[in-house]
Structure 1
Amino acid sequence: MKKTAITYGTFDLFHYGHLRLFQRIKEFSDYLIVAVSTDEFNQLKGKKTIIPFENRIEIVKNIRYVDKVIAEESWDQKLNDIKNYNVNFLVMGDDWKGKFDELNNYCEVIYLPRTDGISSSLLKNSLSGFRNLDISSINSALEILQQIRNQLS
């Protein structure tokens, strides 16, 4: 019998932690559905994405562990998705622990630990420092890198 899992997320600035999530889910399921949050839904959640929905969903579609990609448009669609796709496992990061326990009546809810040291929020925070750089700072950094490269040649 085919075991189907579903997970939900924004998947902005796709990174190793996202990939590991999909890999780990495929270790105990045969078919993985990934619901990618739309830009409109992220606005309702108070999240601002860097990568537009159309690009995020295209990235996820092209990950070999993913069998189907759907749009996540609201909080309450999870139950309908579980029923419509005959889902055996709802899998979320452990930062959501306890939030979807009521869905255990319809499938097994699993909260997986997040990958240490990486998250889209961390990436966004580290990138935010670059916003304050001016062109002369960037040119200086490029000159230093060129000097290092010349020394290594």
Structure 2
Amino acid sequence: MKRVITFGTFDVLHVGHVRMLQRARALGGHLTVGVSTDALNFSKKQKKPVYSQFDRMEIVKAIAGVDEVFLEHSLEEKGEYIKKYKADILVMGNDWEGRFDHWGHLCQVVYLPRTEGISTTELLAEIRASASA
């Protein structure tokens, strides 16, 4: 049984997130998901997520096919997470293409295409625009 690991913020969950998790799970028999901490999300994007890290973990854990969820504290620790969770495959969205190839000595690295026309950033902008209209 191949073990798959993936990472993300998973804030304001949408069908793109669900499809990515389903495709990641289809690559193996066990899916582990690292959910970015609030602090890590802020350091990457200079903004706080809408939902707390604990709410986001609970939401992701409730998705069919997700076997295990943990908090990701640092992008630099991906290798340690791969080892700790005994991952055979690291899955990331193709917007990260090439950025994690250096973990190929620990596991297979796969970049999946993102769902066309769906973006959390754009979704939040649309929500804010309609709320102020």
Normalising to structure 1: TM-score of the pair?
A: 0.82
Distance 1:36 1:83 in 2: 17
Structure 1 spans left out of the alignment, 5+ residues: 134-153
Q: Which residue identity is paired with 2:20?
A: L
Aligned positions of 1:19-98 closer than 5 A: 19-45=18-44, 46-98=46-98
SS of equivalent residue, structure 2 residue 121: helix
Distance 2:56 2:73 in 1: 14
Shift of 1:132: 2.3
Q: Which has the higher contact order (CA 8 A, sep 6+)?
A: 2
Structure 2 spans left out of the alignment, 5+ residues: none
Shift of 1:103: 0.3
Q: Does 1:121 align with 2:121?
A: yes
Paired position in structure 2 for 1:101: 101
Q: Which residue identity is paired with 1:26?
A: R
Identity of aligned residues (%): 44
Which portions of structure 1, spanning 4 or more consecutive aligned residues, are displaced by more than 2 angstroms? 130-133
Distance 1:85 1:57 in 2: 16
Structure with the greater alpha carbon radius of gyration: 1
RMSD (CA atoms): 1.1
Paired position in structure 2 for 1:16: 15
Paired position in structure 1 for 2:110: 110
Q: Which residue identity is paired with 2:29?
A: D
Which shifted more, 30-39 or 121-130? 121-130
Matched residue pairs, number?
Answer: 132
Q: 1:125 and 1:97, CA in 2 relative to 1: closer, same or farther beyond 3 A?
A: same
SS of equivalent residue, structure 1 residue 33: strand
